[in-house]
Amino acid sequence: MLSPHEIAALILVKETPVPFDLDPADLDALLEHQLVTLEKCPSGHACPRLTYGGDSVLKAVGRIRD
């Protein structure tokens, strides 16, 4: 189960082109759950991107909110 902070981090990954304000612990948890992956950005930094599983989690959370 994801914490509220981890869900918020997942939303930031989806909504922000380069989310540098992520808590490293939250990012580690999302990587461990395979909800995000790290890709190389044009700037040379590693940028988190949603996986299919991460997108599915956000869709499920959206259905719960409605």
Report pTM.
Answer: 0.85
Can you give the pLDDT at residue 65? 58
Q: In the structure encoding, which two tokens stand for residue 15, read together?
A: 């909504």
Number of CB atoms found within 10 A of residue 35's CB = 24
Q: What's the distance, CA 13 to chain centroid?
A: 4
Can you give the pLDDT at residue 19? 77
pLDDT digits (tens, 9 = 90+) for 9-19: 999 999 987 77
pLDDT digits (tens, 9 = 90+) for 18-46: 777 889 999 999 999 999 999 988 888 88
Q: Is the per-residue pLDDT at 66 higher than 60? A: no
Q: In the structure encoding, which two tokens stand for residue 1, read together?
A: 């189960």
Q: Structural domains in the chain?
A: 4-65 (1.10.10.10)
C-alpha pair distances (Å), 52 with each of 7, 31, 37, 65? 15, 13, 10, 20
